[in-house]
Structure 1
C-alpha cells in the first residue's frame, strides 16, 4: 500500500508540473520536456469482498459463501470450519467470484482466506471469520412412504415433525412432488406437526413418485430449525379399491375398475351408532398377520384375530373373525370392524397394499376426521383449504 501512495503522489506532482509548464508558455506538447503525450495513469489495485462479511453473526446455513474481487483475479480461496476442514467451492470462468457448494452447519464458526492479483500486478489479501445461527431447537423430520415402497392408489405422502411448525407457508414452499405422470394434488396441514399431500383423485396406477423436503436451514418458528432435509422415492402399484355398503353384508374388491372379488362380511352393529363401521374413504394403513384387540368399554380384552388390515386410527380393521361366522354375510354385529371368514381374510390380506382405498357407505356414523390419516374423508375443496400457501 505504501508503493501505491508513492505512485499516486508522483502522478499528482507530474500533473502539477504539467500545469505550471503550460502556464509558462512551453512548447506544443504542453511543456513536457520529453515531448510525450498525456501522463500514464496508475492501474487499480484488487478489491476483495466476502459475503458473509468479516465477523458476521447468525448467518443462515443455506446461503452460499461468496468471495469476489474487483479490478483483478482471484488466485486462492479457502474456507474452513472449526475443525480445519475445507468447505467445497469453485471459481467462475474469469476467477472474479468463488462460491461455496457445501451446506453450512448450525452454530459453527468458519474462517476464510483469499488472495487476488490486481490489474496493477500486485497481490491483495482478505481474511476473517463469521458464525452461523444456532437454533433454539432442532426438529426431526420424517417422510412416508419409505424409499422404494410400493403402495396403493390412495396413499398420502406424509411429512411429520417432532415439534410444532409455526411457519407453515415457508415449510410448504420447500416441499416438492415429482411424478412420472401429471397428477393434480395439494398439501394439507392436519396438525402443527403433520402436513400431507394427496392427489385430487386417486393416484394413477404404476407411476413413480419422488418427494423432496429441503427443510434444513428453514426457521420452523420460534427459532426452531429442521435437523436435516428428507426425501423419498416410491411406486404406486396397481389400482385396487375396496367398496363396502354396510347393509349389504358384502365386501367387494375392484382392480382397475373391474370387480374381482366379493367376500361376505359382518360390519358394525347397526342398532348402536357408536358401533357402526363409519362411512368414508379410508386407506389400508398397516397389515398384521396376528393382532390383539382390547376394548374394555365393550367387555373384551386380549382377543387375538388373524389377517388384520388397519383402515383407521379410530380402531377399525378388516380382519378374520371365525368366531362370528354365523353372522358373516347376514347380520352386522361387530364393534366397528369388518369381519371376514378366515380363508377370505387371508385371501384379501395377501392382495392388499398399504394405501389401498377402502370406501364405506350405508352407515349412520361419519368418518373420524380427527385421525392422522383422514386425507380422503374431506372434499377436495376442503382439502385444498388446509394448505398454507
Structure 2
C-alpha cells in the first residue's frame, strides 16, 4: 500500500475505536492499539490522572458509564439525564421596613379602670409623633408628657369616675411611614364613695402629743388599702405607727412624743382607690403642720398641784381640785383637743341628770378628753384647790390660772394626771393614744 492509503486506514481505525468506546465497548486484549502519532487526544488534567504516553489514545468516559475489567470484557449503563443548573444570583431587593409597633396601657376596650391609673403609650420599630387623650363625653383633651426620645408618652391624671376616653397615637417607622392607633377605655363607676376628715389642720402648730387622725364617713372593710393610701413624712424622721380605733377612724403617732420643731406632712390619697366592697375614695387630702415647744402639765392628786414644764423646765405651778370620789378624774396621759373662751358645762352630755345634775357657763375651758374632762376656771372652788377634790371630773383652777393655761396650751399639749381614785383614761377617749404601750399600739395597724 501506498503511504497515503495506510494513513487513511489508520484514521478509519481510530474513528472505529472512538465509536466503540462511545458505545460502551472496549477493545479486547487481542486488539491492537492505535499508534499513529498523528492521532493522539490529550486529556484534561485532574489530580488523579497521569500524563499519557505518545502511543496512547485517551478517551473520556461519559458520567454514568462503568467498566468491568475483571472479566476481561466491559459493561455499561446508560447515564441518567441531567437537568441543567441555572447559576444562582443574589437578590438586590432589601427586606421591607417593619411598621411601628404601638402598645397602650390600658388595652383597648378595658373597663373599670381606676381614674388615677397611669395611662401610657409605647412604641417599638419607630417613634411617636403625636398622642392625644380625650374624654369621649365632654371632648376635653387631657395633657400628657412625651419622652425626649419619643418612644413613650405618659399621663397620670385624675380622669374621673364613670368616664369614657379615646387614646389616639400617631407613630412613624424607620422610613417615615406613619400609622395611627386608637384605644378606647372606661373608668370605674363606684358602688359607693367615702370622704375623709383629718386632724390637725393644715398650717397649725401643735403640741408634742398630737396624733394624726383620719376619720372616714363610711366604714372601711379593706383597712390595709386605706392605710396604704396614707403617707406620713416627718423632718427630722421619727418612728411611728398606725392604729385603728374603729372601722372608720385611724390614728398615727410617733413612738415617743414629737421632737419640738418637727415638720410633718400628711397625704391621704384615697381618690380612685378601692377601699373594699366597692367603696372608693371621694377625694384626696393633704396637709402639713409643725410641732411647737414641749408643754407638759403634770398633776399629782397626792399634792393637788399642777406642775407645768416647757421643754423640760418648770415654768409654773398652780393648785387644782380634781374629781371627787364619786366622779373621779381619769388617770393617764390626756391630750388637749379643744379650747373655748366660754363653754356651757352640761352634765346631761355625759349621762348625769336629776340629782346632782348641772348646766353651768364657765370661762377658759380647755378640753382634755371626749368624755367631758376640761381644765377650766372654777372660782366657786378656789377654797378647795390644792387641798380637796370637789369637781365632777374636771380640773378646777382659778380664773387667773385658767386664762394663763388657755393662752399657753394648745392642741396636742400634754396633761398627765396620776394617783386619783379613778380608772385609767381609755385609749379611745379623745386622744388617749399615749395610754397604750408602743408594742400594743402598733398591733392595731392593718
TM-score (norm 2): 0.77
Query: Unaligned 5+ residue runs, structure 1?
Result: 1-22
What's the offset of the Cα at 1:223? 0.6
Q: Do the aligned partners of residues 193 and 372 (structure 1) sit closer, same or farther apart at CA in structure 2, a change above 3 Å counting? A: farther
Instruction: State which of 328, 343, 357 in structure 2 corresponds to 1:276.
Output: 328
Instruction: State which of 144, 152, 158 in structure 1 corresponds to 2:207.
Output: 152
Query: Unaligned 5+ residue runs, structure 2?
Result: 1-82
Q: Do the aligned partners of residues 330 and 70 (structure 1) sit closer, same or farther apart at CA in structure 2, a change above 3 Å counting? A: same
- Over residues 34-68 of structure 1, what are the superposed CA-to-partner deviations in whole Å (9 max), with x where a residue is unaligned? xx555421111122232112221101222211122
Cα distance between partner residues in 2 of 1:24 and 1:210: 87
- What corresponds to 2:411 in structure 1? 354
Secondary structure of 2:406's partner?
Answer: helix
Instruction: State which of 274, 279, 303 in structure 1 corresponds to 2:360.
Output: 303
Instruction: State which of 341, 359, 375 in structure 1 corresponds to 2:433.
Output: 375
CA contact (8 A) 2:371 2:430 kept: no
Cα distance between partner residues in 2 of 1:46 and 1:206: 56
Say which one has the larger Rg. 2
Secondary structure of 1:221's partner?
Answer: coil
- What corresponds to 1:345 in structure 2? 402
- Map residues 55-74 of structure 1 onto 2, 5 A cutoff: 55-74=109-128
Cα distance between partner residues in 1 of 2:430 and 2:189: 32
Instruction: State which of 365, 384, 396 in structure 2 corresponds to 1:327.
Output: 384
Instruction: Please tell me whether residue 25 in structure 1 is matched to residue 85 in structure 2.
Output: yes
Quote the RMSD (CA, aligned, Å).
1.6
What's the offset of the Cα at 1:146? 0.8
Instruction: State which of 286, 305, 308 in structure 1 corresponds to 2:338.
Output: 286
Cα distance between partner residues in 2 of 1:129 and 1:78: 12
Moved more, 328-337 or 65-74: 65-74
CA contact (8 A) 1:46 1:117 kept: yes
Cα distance between partner residues in 2 of 1:91 and 1:232: 31
Q: Do the aligned partners of residues 346 and 123 (structure 1) sit closer, same or farther apart at CA in structure 2, a change above 3 Å counting? A: same
CA contact (8 A) 2:259 2:291 kept: yes
CA contact (8 A) 1:135 1:224 kept: yes
Moved more, 298-307 or 155-164: 298-307
- What corresponds to 1:20 in structure 2? none
Q: Do the aligned partners of residues 348 and 24 (structure 1) sit closer, same or farther apart at CA in structure 2, a change above 3 Å counting? A: farther
Instruction: State which of 212, 227, 251 in structure 2 corresponds to 1:196.
Output: 251
Instruction: State which of 221, 230, 237 in structure 1 corresponds to 2:276.
Output: 221
Q: Do the aligned partners of residues 166 and 24 (structure 1) sit closer, same or farther apart at CA in structure 2, a change above 3 Å counting? A: farther
What's the offset of the Cα at 1:211? 1.1
CA contact (8 A) 1:188 1:195 kept: yes
Cα distance between partner residues in 1 of 2:388 and 2:356: 21
- What corresponds to 1:210 in structure 2? 265
**Larger RCO (alpha carbons 8 Å, 6+ apart):** 1
Secondary structure of 2:433's partner?
Answer: coil
Cα distance between partner residues in 2 of 1:387 and 1:101: 29
What's the offset of the Cα at 1:333? 0.8
Secondary structure of 2:245's partner?
Answer: strand
Instruction: State which of 217, 233, 237 in structure 2 corresponds to 1:182.
Output: 237
What's the offset of the Cα at 1:243? 0.5
Secondary structure of 2:185's partner?
Answer: strand
Secondary structure of 2:440's partner?
Answer: helix
Cα distance between partner residues in 1 of 2:426 and 2:372: 10
Instruction: Please tell me whether residue 387 in structure 1 is matched to residue 445 in structure 2.
Output: yes
CA contact (8 A) 1:48 1:69 kept: yes
TM-score (norm 1): 0.88
- Over residues 169-206 of structure 1, what are the superposed CA-to-partner deviations in whole Å (9 max), with x where a residue is unaligned? 12222222222212111111111111111111110012
Secondary structure of 1:248's partner?
Answer: coil
Instruction: Please tell me whether residue 124 in structure 1 is matched to residue 179 in structure 2.
Output: yes
What's the offset of the Cα at 1:372? 4.5
Cα distance between partner residues in 2 of 1:317 and 1:217: 41
Secondary structure of 1:126's partner?
Answer: strand
Cα distance between partner residues in 1 of 2:401 and 2:279: 50
